Amino acid sequence: MPRNMIVVGMADLNVTKAPGVLTTLGLGSCIGIALYDARAKVAGLAHIMLPDSTAIQNNTNRAKFADTAVIALVAEMEKLGAKKINMKAKIAGGAQMFAFNATNENLRVGDRNVDATKIALAKMGIPLMASETGASFGRTVELYSEDGKFLIKAIGQGIRTL
Amino acid sequence: MAKRAEDLFTDMHLDILKEIGSMGTAYAATALSKMVDKKVTMPVPRVSWLDFHNVADFVGGPESIVVGILVSLSGNIQGMMMQIMSLEAAHNLVELVIGTPPPTKEEDKFSFGEMERSVVEEVGNIMISSYLTSISGLTNSQIKPSIPYMCVDMANAILSVPASEFGRMADKMLFIESQLSVENVETTGCFVMVPNLHSFYRIVRALGVE
């Protein structure tokens, strides 16, 4: 792992300036939300677990939910000199890891995370440039603040660049 | 202001959970011992709350490849229960039960044939059911488990499933680590118990807390 690589944990977020690299490991039903301002060369990555903070009492961790994480991520990036108007988004994750026939909607949390993330980005007016979501495998992602490159790795598959 | 789930459990409750885990593991050890016709030993299980950030440290790190077996729960206690084991442990179990030796090539260890898969699912099912029997007895609840579902992938990706269920009520996850050794072969597994919020309170109340 490169020395300038910052690991973002589950239900966490972080931001960096060039030449920093952000990574989050083993996204399952969670979503990696990558925001990038190409002018300021500022990148932000969140690892969200749940779609909606308003549906839950225990919601103090903003990085845990799609709706609050996008807002928090934008605010943190602005502190590093990024501007919301220049931000673009890429997302990965939202898999269904187990082959349940999804009668229980909590088991379909991956799909709901994807939908909620798209809504949260639209509300903030941030365009979604690329995404790789769904299916039934885990993903590790890397976001490069030098050029906004977003790498996706999965077991037994080649590396994808979004 | 609702209390967070992790604040409801004191050390005493963790001890009780350890005891439940211990009873559950004992049931599982007996069942496994009958299946493989060998002596099975077990240490006292460890029970702990883990932060989401380092939840996978327990099983070798976020990207280590593990086997997860998931059962969804309905009845009086709803939610899910998951067993996680290493690839080695899973292949060891297959060898013990049906005699198929573990793959020699590293890249073949990720895949399980239909027969191998069903052995791992079934052993996981027996172990999970053993835990559920203990919990069901203690809380005087009826628990109906689904069929077992198996997944081989990165630890974080597998753990995200119970974590997102736990995330509704806590910022930590309850882990029960139990080990079973069949003669010289160690098979380490840990269990994640994920009742939904309503069922969680039912368990807490049964443990004597309001």
Residue B24: per-residue pLDDT = 75
Average pLDDT, integer, range A22-48:
97
Cβ contact, residue pair B55, A26, below 8 Å: no
Digit-coded pLDDT (tens) for B124-154:
888 788 778 878 887 888 999 988 999 999 9
- Across the range B107-118, mean pLDDT stands at 87
In angstroms, rounded to a whole number, what is the distance separating the alpha carbons of residues A138 and B158?
8
- For residue B43, whether the previous peptide bond is cis, meaning omega lies within 30 degrees of 0, is no
Beta-bridged to residue B189, according to DSSP, are B85, B178
Q: What is the pLDDT of residue B209?
A: 61
Whether B164 and A97 lie within 8 Å, measured CB to CB: no
More confident residue, A92 or B2: A92
Q: What's the pLDDT band for B168 if we cut at 50, 70, 90?
A: confident
Q: Tell me, yes or no, if A151 comes closer than 8 A to chain B by beta carbon.
A: no
Write the DSSP string, B153-189: EEHHHHHHHHHHHHTTT-SEEEEEEEEEEETTEEEEE
User: Tens digit of pLDDT for each residue in A2-19?
Assistant: 668 999 999 999 999 999
Min Cα–Cα distance to chain A from B82, Å: 11
Q: Do B101 and B92 meet the contact criterion of CB atoms below 8 Å apart?
A: no
Say yes or no to pLDDT of B188 above 80. Answer: no
Chain B hits for A29, Cβ within 8 Å: 160-161, 164
* Across A7-33, average pLDDT: 95
Q: Which two tokens stand for residue A17?
A: 């300036």
- For the ranges A83-87, A121-125, B81-85, B191-195, the lowest mean pLDDT is seen at B191-195
Distance CA A137, CA A78 (A): 33
* Whether the predicted pLDDT of A102 surpasses 60: no
Average pLDDT, integer, range B174-181: 76
Please tell me the CATH superfamily of domain B5-206, with its number.
Answer: CheC-like (3.40.1550.10)
DSSP H or E stretch at residue A112 = helix A109-123
Residues of B in contact with A25 (CB under 8 A): 62-63, 154, 156
Stated pTM of the model: 0.88
The two beta strands, B149-154 and B65-75, are antiparallel
Options 3.10.20.600, 3.40.50.10090, 3.10.20.30, 3.30.1330.200; which CATH number does A5-161 get?
A: 3.30.1330.200
How much is the average pLDDT of A55-76? 89
Q: Chain B closest CA to A40's CA: distance in Å?
A: 29
* CB–CB contact B157 A10 (8 Å): no
- Res B116: pLDDT: 92
pLDDT of residue B177: 76
Domains of chain A: which residue ranges? 5-161
What values do phi and psi take at A158, rounded to 5?
-70, 165
Q: Phi/psi at B34 (nearest 5 deg)? A: -65, -40
Q: How many CB pairs under 8 A join A and B?
A: 115
Q: Which helix (H) or strand (E) holds A71?
A: helix A66-79
Is the separation of the CB atoms in A8 and A30 below 8 Å? no
**C-alpha to C-alpha distance for A38 and A40, rounded to whole angstroms:** 6
Please tell me which of the candidates A109, A140, A156 has its beta carbon nearest to residue B164: A109
% of chain B beyond a pLDDT of 90? 11
Provide the b/e sequence for A144-155 (b: ≥16 CB within 10 Å).
Answer: bbeebbbbbbbb
Q: Which pLDDT belongs to residue B47?
A: 78
Nearest by CB: B110 against A12, A58, A155: A155
Q: What is the pLDDT of residue B89?
A: 86
Would you place residue B8 in the very low, low, confident or very high pLDDT band (cuts 50, 70, 90)?
low
Phi and psi at A103, nearest 5°, equal -80, -35
CB-hemisphere CA count at 13 Å for A2? 11
List the alpha helices (DSSP H) in chain B. 5-8, 11-36, 87-98, 114-139, 155-166, 197-206
More confident residue, B145 or B210: B145
Judge: A58–B171 Cβ closer than 8 Å, yes or no. yes
pLDDT level of residue B1 (50, 70, 90 thresholds): very low
Asked if A11's CB is within 8 angstroms of B160's CB, the reply is no
- Average pLDDT, integer, range A80-103: 89
The residue in chain A having the minimum alpha-carbon distance to the alpha carbon of residue B53 is A9
The DSSP 8-state label assigned to residue B150 in this structure reads E
Give chain B's end-to-end CA distance (angstroms, integer): 15
Contact between A112 and A59 (Cβ < 8 Å): no
